[in-house]
Amino acid sequence: MTRLAAIVFALLVGLTARAGEIALRPSARLTPGAPVTLGDVATLTGDDAAALAPTALDVRRGSDGAAEITVEDVRAALDAAGVNWGRLTLRGSVCAVRAAEPTPATPDAPRRARSRDEPAAVDLAGPPTVRTRLARLVARLYGVTPDNLRLRFDERDAEFLSTPESGRRIEIQPAATPNASRFSAVVWLYAGDELLGSRSVRVDVRVRRPVVVLTRALDRGDAVTPDAVRSETLWVEPAGSAMVGAVEDAVGAVARKRLDAGAILRAEALEPPIVVRRGELVTVHCVSGGVVVKAKARAARDGRAGERLELRMDGSKKTFVARVVAPGRAVVNLDAPASLAEAAP
């Protein structure tokens, strides 16, 4: 081994092996009787943590569907699943689980009445009002043009929404990050140095955007092939994880769970294919400044493209972490300050 390779090796064994965080939420509302998974009660950051979302948790609910899940419950479930705690952090205390409120069923409601309740386009012609200002803001925040947006406002806000902007100043403060099908904001009205009033407004949102639809069912672990998907432009609810917008972004990925024909693909339903197998000898590109040294190391587990994977050089007890970039190939940046830490045994 050359002197440069020896230096690279010394740096490699000092790389951190942590690659994800599990944060227990304070509360969650879940369907009564449905199994509880880690993804239902925790925020998962990083590929390793996200892969644990389907992990089932042992929960004893009361007659009202309520329960409490402690961080110790989560740790026990993950220990049973054999997770590598050297790559994960777990934080939080208790998640209070409550039963989700059932959606009222109205099977006998006239079709005409239901259609009036559907989100509709907002006419932006004419003088600006609170309604049109909200519509333009929602379109911008959800990344669509106004003609690709439909909104449904609460009837109780009708008079306030019709307030003209003329002679007033309208300030709109979103109440939360706009990533759900129901948008909330606080609207403030001013006239000169006077505060005329404020109101909390809620809006149901539908957007029209390109999506990828399955043409046939996929089982968990099945690869997405070109004949299994088609591209469409549909009106959808912008809730949940991001939707896959192009066929090329789906082809080659693997289904995380069973997916039915006709399903709109979302990012959470897919994962990159495994390109490195446990025990496989991987070529690691070690980058430092303008120098690149290539070394061989064995994978400690299966790895997917884009994941940070723990590896070990033959003859060494130390491990390091590199990012998988292709079958049998990984890259590590030795100049990244955050990547240096005490070596894993």
Domain residue spans of the chain = 3-17+274-339, 20-99, 112-206, 208-271
Taking the mean position of all CA atoms in its chain, how far away is CA 221?
A: 19
Cα separation, 285 vs 314, in Å, equals: 16
* Same CATH fold assignment for domains 20-99 and 208-271: no
Cα separation, 24 vs 97, in Å, equals: 12
CATH no. of 20-99: 2.60.480.10
* 74 CB-side CA count, 13 A: 30
Going by C-beta distance under 8 Å and a sequence separation of 6 or more, which residues neighbour residue 237?
Answer: 181, 205, 206
Q: Return per-residue pLDDT of the chain as tens, 345 residues.
A: 455 555 555 555 444 444 578 888 887 777 666 778 888 888 887 777 777 888 888 877 665 557 788 888 888 888 888 888 877 888 888 888 777 655 444 444 444 444 457 899 999 998 999 999 999 999 999 999 999 999 999 999 999 999 999 999 999 999 877 778 889 999 999 998 899 888 999 999 999 999 999 999 999 889 999 999 999 999 998 877 788 989 998 998 999 999 999 999 998 899 888 889 999 999 999 998 889 999 999 999 999 888 899 999 988 888 889 999 999 999 998 876 544 433 333
One-letter amino acid at 322 equals: A
CB of 307 closer than 8 Å to CB of 254:
no
Two structure tokens written together for 327: 């079958």
Give, in words, the CATH class of 3-17+274-339: mainly beta
Provide the b/e sequence for 78-114 (b: ≥16 CB within 10 Å): beeeebbeebbebebeebebebeeeeeeeeeeeeeee
The domain over range 208-271 is classified in CATH as 3.90.1210.10? yes
Instruction: Kindly report whether the global pTM for this prediction surpasses the value 0.75.
Output: no
